[in-house]
Amino acid sequence: MRLPRDLSGKELVQALKTLGYQVTRQTGSHMRLTTQEHGEHHVTIPQHDALRVGTLAAILADVAAHFELSRDELVDRLFGTGR
């Protein structure tokens, strides 16, 4: 599944909240999110207007590994098939 090309950091944070992530701190333009589901996991999201594809891919790969999903399964779960 193709990654969204116009996704902002804030939109990614909102999508990750469906998996139990919450913003635990912010330093400058980076937000740190933490979830307790499937064990504690932290991820850092830049608060940019449009995330670079490589940055988004790395974040999603990290989250997918934590939840033991493929990246495509995670993208479908977060953004649905309509995105």
Residue 60, in any domain of the structure: yes
Beta bridge partners of 35: 41
Rg of the chain on CA atoms, in Å: 12
Q: What pLDDT sits at residue 80? A: 81
Residue 63, in any domain of the structure: yes
Q: Are 34 and 22 in contact (CB under 8 A)?
A: yes
Q: What pLDDT sits at residue 81? A: 60
Under-70 pLDDT residues of the chain: 81-83
CATH of the domain at 59: 3.30.920.30
Task: Give me the number of domains the chain comprises.
Answer: 1
Q: What is the pTM of this model?
A: 0.90
Residue 20, in any domain of the structure: yes
Neighbours of 33 (CB within 10 A): 22
Q: What pLDDT sits at residue 64? A: 96
Q: What pLDDT sits at residue 58? A: 96
**Domain coverage including residue 24:** 9-77
Eight-state DSSP code of residue 69:
-
pLDDT (tens digit per residue) in 63-78: 999 999 999 999 999 9
